[in-house]
Amino acid sequence: MAATLNPRYTFPQFIVGRSNEAAYAAASAAAVAPGALYNPILLAGGTGLGKTHLAHAVTAEAALRDPMRTAELLTADEFLRRLSTAVSAGTPELLLDELSRAALIVVDDVHVLDRHATAQEALLSLASRALAGAKQLVLTSDDAAGASALARRIVHRFRTGHSATLGVPDWAHRVAILHAKAATLGIELPPSVAHHLASQCEGSVRELEGGLTRLLAVASLDGSTLTLALARRAVAPRAERANGESAPHALRGAQLVQDAVAAEWGVSPDELVGAGRSRRLVEPRRIGMLLCHELLDLSLREIGAAFGDRDSSTVLSALARAREDLEESTAVAERVARLRQMLPASGGAEAAPTH
């Protein structure tokens, strides 16, 4: 086996969601019964979405299930290197014969071969040999431009070929990935922290893990506990990371509102945006949403994102209940009046300094 298996890249450590369940199912089937169902298999997706994880997982699982079964895992670069050596020695057929003897052959990142005509023909020949011998071939490829032309060609050439795409995980999936990753490190991630990271790191699993790593590094250096405030400091808002600018006024304003409301009701900002549903949390949470709507003119979606990624219908209901609270309770109305005087409007921008 040319590539060293990464012990972290196993099926149990691969978090399945709607964006990758088809790819996971195809890889699992290949590991359980190589060559029996889909062959060849193409796993395509953008950078950092789990293609290499599945490449290692299917290889490890196949070997675990049957130690006598040979599994061959190669990166495209390794395939190129070995093929170049074989061509120089005049033995490319011997290399293909050797590889095709394995019960499972996995080639990671085959898009690398798109500009190498000799390697493309060699991989096509390897695919033919593998299928003729009922051996399983699994390929992975970037999907930035519709996946590798070579990979598509190989899959479509054979009647039993199958392709599956790994997409960007949705918010709930990202939260699950964060909790699972933290658990492997022996860390229990507070829901509000996971929600914040999942909202700010949307691009890929790799970006998500990078956000968690930054947070843990900051916590370790500062000796801090994992709180929403620390997460906000460690992982800047998307707009700030993309533009190198300060966070938008509306985003800063939402945090100001949450801090002020939390202080007024004697709860923490973490609790305010968390999943707790007790009255001591629900009442200030919906008041905070109302103030964000009135003072900052945030949309339902923006308010939901700021308060633990709640959906728009939940926010709409909370706004209606908050208005009822104001009408029915003098105490709540007085508290909200105090907050309205304290908090700046129009996006929460700080007052301009006087000279």
pLDDT of residue 12: 95
| H-helix segments, the chain | 21-32, 51-65, 76-89, 92-100, 117-132, 149-157, 171-184, 191-200, 205-222, 228-234, 238-243, 249-265, 269-273, 279-295, 300-306, 312-328, 330-342
Token digits of residue 155: 């899959």
Max intra-chain CA distance, the chain: 90
Each residue of 293-311: pLDDT tens digit? 888 777 788 888 888 888 8
Is residue 1 scored above 80 in pLDDT? no
Classify domain 171-243 at the CATH topology level: Helicase, Ruva Protein; domain 3 (1.10.8)
CATH, range 21-166? 3.40.50.300
pLDDT of 244 strictly over 80: no
Burial class, 346, CB count within 10 angstroms (exposed 0-12 / middle 13-18 / buried 19+): exposed
Strand order in the sheet with 136-142: 71-75, 104-108, 136-142, 41-45, 162-166
Higher pLDDT, 298 or 320: 320
Whole-angstrom Cα distance, residue 113 to residue 79?
A: 9
pTM for the predicted model, two decimal places: 0.68
From residue 178, alpha-carbon distances to 114, 169, 190, 221 in Å are 34, 12, 10, 21
The CB-side HSE value for 124 (13 A sphere, CA atoms) comes to: 14
What are the residue ranges of CATH 3.40.50.300 in the chain? 21-166
DSSP annotation string for 83-139: HHHHHHHT-HHHHHHHHHTSSEEEEE-GGGGGG-HHHHHHHHHHHHHHHHTT-EEEE
One-letter amino acid for residue 207 of the chain: E
CATH 1.10.1750.10 domain range(s) in the chain: 249-342
Average pLDDT along the chain: 85
Q: Which two tokens stand for residue 197?
A: 């990271």
Instruction: Please say if the pLDDT value at position 241 is more than 70.
Output: no
Q: Is residue 104's pLDDT more than 70?
A: yes
pLDDT band at 90 (very low <50, low <70, confident <90, very high): very high
Q: For residue 249, give the nearest of 261, 264, 239, 259 by alpha carbon.
A: 239
Taking residues 217-232, what's their average pLDDT?
A: 84
Distances (CA, A) of 10 to 92, 107, 172, 240, 313: 32, 17, 21, 35, 38
**Maximum average pLDDT range among 49-63, 141-155, 240-254, 303-317:** 49-63
HSE-CB at 145 with a 13 A cutoff on CA atoms is 5
- Map tokens 């860390």 to a residue: 187
- CATH number of the structural domain 249-342: 1.10.1750.10
pLDDT of residue 56: 96
- Judged against a pLDDT cut of 60, whether residue 16 lies above it is answered with yes
